[in-house]
Structure 1
């Protein structure tokens, strides 16, 4: 054997195929894992009644090979067996490579992340390419890669691990488990094998498996049998040699939140308080079953957040399911305390919950949040809280979690919370902190001035850090000079004093030592409504050169007056920001107003420019002059990245503009947020913002801006199924664009109007809208617009039976997409063109179009280069959907399922929930076409859940219709099937989707005819 492996290796997963001695020679399957070139680990009961045993490696891959095997070691009580591979019945494609030794281990502290691979019954697939003697497809078992969590605290009497994984669809045969065939599959935690799948207890639920634990082998086997097994498979001779598994293998792509800010290397003191926070057991809540909550309180600048964050990093390994950090802005100047509902929404989105799935009600959000934390060991830091009411909805319900709350006031009404008040640092610790920040060689340990400086700073960590920074960055300064300055500054700015300690003198002293330009930027930064800022925005505020602004920002960082939490992103501490804001009030009001106007102008222009790069249509010309400096965002990916990074600031600027009645900024900033709101939601907020922007533009007499806002509003209304309102918005937008002679905008609005009208079944009006759009695009020589409107009109003509017109439009659209080099759009157009040509009897033309489309889809979906950004990932998924549809057309259902599944994986990875919703309907349709009613029904149910969560009413209707159709296929589902069809019919009617209404109504009428009762 070679060195130990890096974990579960798919090429070593084996299908164990058993032929029994029973009459007829029945066959069944299990799973296993290659431990050495000739040894396979499996479950003993898989071999019961075996007349012959075969193992298959690299199943259904190019390197597949099969070999006969026989038991080399087995124990029925442990349900473990080792097979020895004999000669291969189907030779490997080449020499079998060396097999790395497996690392065996045991779980010490659950739950831990795990993974397993095997061949369960629910993975049975039809192989259309290999028909049997009766002409029907043969079947094969595909491999299941199940991931989840394992615990050894359940099933203690049985001595098995409980594995929680994704639930499969129910087995059509209610007497059988969908997991049949998974027995023998290895369970890995990271790089360590901890068990072998042996059972599925149906009462535990469809997602619960039981695995026989490696550490129990030592308890159940006598010394001789254990020695035999150890010698055979490389098992450690004693249990102490097993690797201890205490946490999941976090590799940065599992979505687990890691939100703690960086801790400081100069953390000093607080040993007693830190020890209290660290002194928790493995089960924080213990026998009481309550959540452990520490409420850290103290005055401003006392070091509450620093302590909480430092403790959080020390505790992180003991809370492997995540660390959450939520700033509640309880005392952030210029910001209202954060609404707990908004905080919950942000946390849930961090867990991957889409905006459309987050309930509007606070209690419902809190319940969903607690559900996400249930059964986990998660650390939650709630920073800068103002009240108990702000904190309570963010408390988990699981005793395995730990909560640290920081606040300037004592939260006495927070039940079950332990209070940890912070006072000034003791002299020894304060001196140590000052010397650490000041840097090596800048102070002497016995200098008596150190204690005086600590007293002048009130022992407050923040003040000490600022004072020490003055010593660090000014080589000519001595402690004597610093102490004298502190004494002179002490009488000023008493508002931050509690009567004994004066913090603001430190801020003022630090400020007085800045240059003129540094002071100007310091004051200006307090005027920004956002929590963070970059150099471009700061340059707009200061009306300064970009390079000079970058230097000034770094100067403020050096003075500890500004933090740089990420490269190029700057943030002020709340107290420093408050002091800067006080100083800024001394500047002339017109000067401050001009700075804010420059900032909003910068964010408006840059966001609209970024938004335009992610959107296929033109935007209305912006108001105001372009900013002197703005980031280059040449690609849609870079534009999306900038918009998402700045979303919170853009919304803060929009809120400021709304409060102040600055309507031009309201219009522009809303326009800049349009694509983010469309893609990420929440759509209820998008609807309200676009409506407000339209009203603002109308008030200004800005008909072009009003048209843009209405067009954006219409797109959101179309997405949420409000077709009548969407059509009205697009029609009004088209009229307004026409009034201001913006032909491109008018064409875009008409194209959107056509799409909405098509959804309602008003095909003549939809075709007219696309024709009017096409005429405008032809005038402006806009090829992409022409191609889009021709493609939309061609599809409409197909639906109305005008096949000749459809062929003409689609062919022209194809020609333009070829000129533009838009490969995915070419393939989509060719797909529809093939369908139309087939309907006219032009089989040769249809075959040509299908073949060209298939070639493009395959090329796009199988590119070796990974997509570089958001839009390219969507194109890859779109190509896979198109490929799946082509495969389905030729009844290659296995290929269609594979393509759709890969597309769904991309949508899920991107958190593209609206795309996942409609694509799940398509996936279900493939199962239905293949005759796999059980999987089709289960997948349509998934689609129904998803479409309701993202509020796609048309896709919801499709899912309802699919469920009804699948229930009608079953022997007992006629009544339920009709019920679902009636729900689909009502949904289609509410959306005015006439063709769909007629189709479902005809099906229901047929049911009534065939069932007189």
Structure 2
């Protein structure tokens, strides 16, 4: 499938694809369209026929998503074309490039590539916030001579992936999508004829339609579309569209400096390349001791791929993207992997993945979307120093990374991993066949090591280059050819203050040491003067490549007298600090950073604590203001500041930083990050006000991530602290969270007290919004536990608040609470009337939040009155509203109640189909009524042949219902089961 072109190119622009949501006299429906100008959308006439209300949504499920009302400016049923006008909101892109229109030749044989994008029914999905239509790009062909009599295009496309509704085409909703040939629109999708199979669509041909439309309407259509000559559209042809961004793209800096000095390792390098180019291998692990050269070898392979070549005799397509990650610099996490892979994709896919991260909480679903977006692209990802995320036995300790690897091995098209680790990664036996391991157990060969020593003294100033081959070979052997040891040997000789000026003298001190790399590094640190040790302390604590100006600023804050420039030059010359010339950044070798950090004292001017605090202060100055936060990466300065404060032991200051960003992280898809950060400071905070904010925020994070029992404990603690501090607002919020946690655990009785106290506190502090929200939650909780009278009292209180403030939304919520209470009391006539009033009230308040539930309640009231036909009509309307809400639970509830209405009308075939749809929707929402829907479908399927089996299934359905007043009453099903047994 061709990639979406970048925004602004001629051709299909993903930002301009429109989803059209139609409220019509005959029921609600959806269609597709394309934004032609700032204020016009092209679609099919039948999509908007008999419409009462229209909304157009663009940038669907992207960060810039917007929707707005629209009106029909031009429509012609004969040609099935329509143009809508709208007023775009402020965030909508404007000054759009003109759309080009064209035609295909109809006087010669040809098979032409076409594509269209829209929102078909078969792409309906279940997300955490409801059902939604996923955008589908339909690529296919058109036979130029087909369908000339009807003036339509016959599109042959990949067959629909499912047929979810026997009463509707799986392509329903695709109508109105613009049909493209190259960079021109040649038609509009109009029909799917089931008899022609699931892979054929018919589309209006613009050139034929323009010839058949009368002169006046044709001129108006041409004006709206910006067509200068409607009688002579130019021929459309294919345009070059690359599969992904042009050229190889690289995310992240190389994980090792000095790869230009890399020495051979030809066998291991070629072996790595062969495994990486093998499509059956998912992960290649390069193992070996610290300092042996794993990172350098991996960086060399990545560098060769960046240059467009596979090392050795490896064959296969070159990667379209490379990602460099290291635990010592960028960090390795599920979030980092996700967003770095997204950065390799085109703007449309990247924006979609950002939306997925912020709206879909399930990590597995996020990874599925990521791998789908990557598609067939080959991405090679380097995970360096992975041992930092492993337990001693090699088991992956990081839950997010473990999940990523599980999906990596299960998915068909995924990135390929190149991993470096001192410890082999331990995997389940069934996964090992997807992996390969290359062990780097030996240092460089003597010849390679000697050559490296000469190159490290390229100008001969150290006297090393002048040594004989035998002398260099002897030195190489004595340090076992370990590349990092060779660099440090040369650095020791280069230090003018060194006490051991010759290479042999340096070697004599270390040949008996167990870990020569660690010993050499420790000796180097002991020989440094105070300024050099200070600069090294800052680089070791930073743990990431930075520009010199950053080092200047942090070191200057600690000791203004240190001139960092000369010190850094010296450290670079001694091979203690690496330089990336391209990014102009400096960094310690990861091994050196660990060793140096361990060498420095905890206290003192350049002790670990003081250095960490100054680095944290530097990150504080880099932080973006909250109004500019868009993605988790925008909070990177705060997160790094938090980490440095924790390492400094300043847990309370770290908690203050976290308290500022926790809610944003939770609400934008990074709840596991927030949980991990809260866990790092939990139990270390003495300041009660800081602890109060932390505990409440931690509770909300656990409310999203689980376990729910821990959320209960956290909210209880937050409530106790707030009460002790007499902070009424925080107390109210904690009690509301506690009630919500109990409710989600199904402890309806336990939720009553915290909700009640939270409502009282909101009233005491005069916060009407909080009080209304809490009273509504309390009233609904009373209804669900069967206490309709207490629920009505809550509705009365909401009525009082609505009258006092004149707030339409509060009035609608009051009516909502009353409706559900009446259902709980089985006062069916009152419930039916109240449901209708509630639906009107929400619409008057311009809110769709509970229209579906209100209409569903009205339908239940009518069922209770024995009016199934009226109930079915109302419940069908409720289902349409639930679909607009894209809420799977709402859809499932409406479908289950509608299925029962069909049963009562003895429309058993419709009952089966509707109950099956309810089972799918309720299962996707994790709702308890899933089993009831399944059993109801089985009961209806058994009739009329087997009434006894139907009665048994009805009895099981009744038992599976939990007494929720918003779904059918269990007694109704039990009574019908008894009648079937008596018949």
TM-score calculated relative to the size of structure 2: 0.53
Superposition pairs for residues 845-860 of structure 1, below 5 Å? 853-854=842-843, 857=846
Tell me the residue number matched to 2:594. Answer: 578
Aligned with 2:296 (options 286, 298, 303): 303
How do residues 97-176 of structure 1 correspond to structure 2 at under 5 angstroms?
Answer: 99-101=100-102, 116-117=116-117, 146-147=136-137, 167-172=161-166
Deviation of 1:749 after TM superposition, in Å, equals 2.9
Query: Could you tell me which residue of structure 1 aligns to residue 540 of structure 2?
Result: 526
SS at match of 1:523: helix
Question: Relative to 1, partners in 2 of residues 1:92 and 1:961: Cα closer, same or farther, differing over 3 Å?
Answer: same
- 1:320-362 CA distance string (max 9 Å, x none): 77655554x5xx6999xx89x9999999999868997458xxx
For 1:832, the equivalent position in structure 2 comes to 813
By how many angstroms is 1:577 displaced? Answer: 1.1
Q: CA deviation at 1:146?
A: 1.7
1:7 paired residue number: 12
Corresponding residue to 2:737 among 752, 755, 758: 752
Q: Contact between 2:622 and 2:637, CA under 8 Å: does it hold in 1?
A: no
Q: Which residue of the partner structure matches residue 384 of structure 1?
A: 385
Counterpart CA distance in 2 for 1:284 and 1:193 is 40
How much has 1:830 moved relative to structure 2? 3.5
- Post-superposition shift, 1:66? 3.8
The 1:499–1:681 alpha-carbon spacing in structure 2 relative to 1, beyond 3 Å, is: same
The equivalent of 1:810 in structure 2 is: 798
1:247 maps to 2:243:
yes
Aligned to 2:213: none
Alignment partner of 1:178 out of 158, 170, 174: 170
Write the deviation string for residues 890-919 of structure 1: whole angstroms up to 9, x where unpaired: 989999888866765xxxxxxxxxxx7657
Q: 1:181 to 1:90 in 2, by over 3 A?
A: closer
Query: How far does residue 810 in structure 1 lie from its aligned partner after superposition?
Result: 1.9
Query: For residues 393-404 of structure 1, what are the structure 2 equivalents within 5 Å?
Result: 396=409, 402-404=416-418
C-alpha deviation, 1:978, in angstroms:
8.0
What is the aligned partner in structure 1 of residue 217 from structure 2? none
Supply the distance in 1 between the matched residues of 2:187 and 2:448 (Cα, whole angstroms): 53
1:54-85 Cα deviation digits (max 9, x unpaired): 996986673554486xxxxxxxxxxxxxxxxx
Tell me by how many angstroms 1:537 deviates.
Answer: 12
Q: How do residues 713-732 of structure 1 correspond to structure 2 at under 5 angstroms? A: 730=715
Q: Report if aligned partners of 1:539, 1:549 keep a CA contact under 8 Å in 2.
A: no
> For the residues of structure 2 that align with 1:588 and 1:180, how far apart are their CA atoms?
69
Question: Please, which of 749, 756, 761 is the counterpart of residue 776 of structure 1?
Answer: 761
Corresponding position: 1:62 with 2:62: no
Cα separation, 1, equivalents of 2:239 and 2:850 = 47
Q: Give, in whole Å, the separation in 1 of the partners of 2:729 and 2:659.
A: 17
- In 1, the alpha carbon distance for the partners of 2:119 and 2:486 equals 63
Change in 2 beyond 3 A, CA 1:719/1:482? closer
Q: Which residue of 897, 915, 928 maps to 1:957?
A: 928
Matched residues in 2 for 1:985 and 1:646: separation? Answer: 52
Residues 270 and 1008 of structure 1: CA distance in aligned 2, closer, same or farther (over 3 Å): same
Distance 2:930 2:816 in 1: 24
Mapped partners of 2:804, 2:557: distance in 1: 44
3-state SS in 2 of match to 1:749: helix
Q: What is the RMSD computed on CA atoms of the aligned residues?
A: 8.0
- Give yes or no for contact 1:690–1:713 (8 Å, CA) kept in 2: yes
Partner secondary structure for residue 12 of structure 2: coil
Give the CA deviation at 1:247: 1.7
Deviations 1:679-706 (A, max 9, x none): 5789899899989987x48xx9988788
Give a deviation string over 1:920-952, Cα, whole Å, max 9, x none. 6579689989999799667645544544xxxxx
SS in 2 for 1:172: coil
Q: Cα distance, 1:844 vs. partner?
A: 13
1:569 offset after TM fit, Å? 11
In structure 2, the residue matched to 1:285 is 278
Q: Is the partner of 1:304 in helix, strand or coil? A: helix
Q: Assess if the C-alpha contact under 8 Å between 2:179 and 2:185 holds in 1.
A: yes
Q: How many residues align?
A: 776
Check conservation: 2:708, 2:741, Cα contact below 8 A. Answer: yes
Supply the distance in 1 between the matched residues of 2:743 and 2:32 (Cα, whole angstroms). Answer: 51
**Residues 438-474 of structure 1: CA distance to partner in whole angstroms, max 9, x if unpaired?**
xxxxxxx9x6659957999999999999999x9xxxx
Alpha-carbon distance in 2 for matches of 1:1008, 1:738? 53
**Does 2:610 match 1:595?**
yes
1:1006 aligns with 975
SS of corresponding position for 2:927: helix
Residue 303 of structure 1 aligns to a residue in which SS? helix
Contact (CA 8 Å) 2:541, 2:612: kept in 1 or not?
Answer: no
Change in Cα spacing, 1:984 to 1:918, as seen in structure 2 (3 Å) is farther
Alignment match, 2:228 = none
In 1, Cα distance between equivalents of 2:186 and 2:500: 65
Give the distance between the partners of 2:570 and 2:103, measured in 1 at CA.
51
Give the alignment's TM-score, normalised by structure 1: 0.52
Residues 755 and 508 (structure 1 numbering): CA distance in 2 closer, same or farther, change over 3 Å?
A: same
Partner of 1:789: 774
**How far apart are 1:574 and its partner, in Å?**
0.8
CA contact (8 A) 2:708 2:745 kept: yes
The match for 1:313 among 306, 316, 324 is 306
Q: Secondary structure at the match of 2:981?
A: coil
CA contact (8 A) 2:179 2:187 kept: yes
- Hey, what's the Cα distance between the residues in 1 that align with 2:791 and 2:852? 24
2-side partners of 1:449 and 1:406: how far apart?
A: 35
Deviations 1:233-256 (A, max 9, x none): 8477xxxxx6566624799xxxx9
Q: Provide the rounded CA distance (Å) in 1 between the counterparts of 2:566 and 2:340.
A: 31
For 1:800, the equivalent position in structure 2 comes to: 788
The whole-number CA distance in structure 2 between the counterparts of 1:971 and 1:375 is: 46
In structure 2, do the counterparts of structure 1 residues 5 and 670 end up closer, same or farther at CA, with 3 Å as the change threshold?
Answer: closer
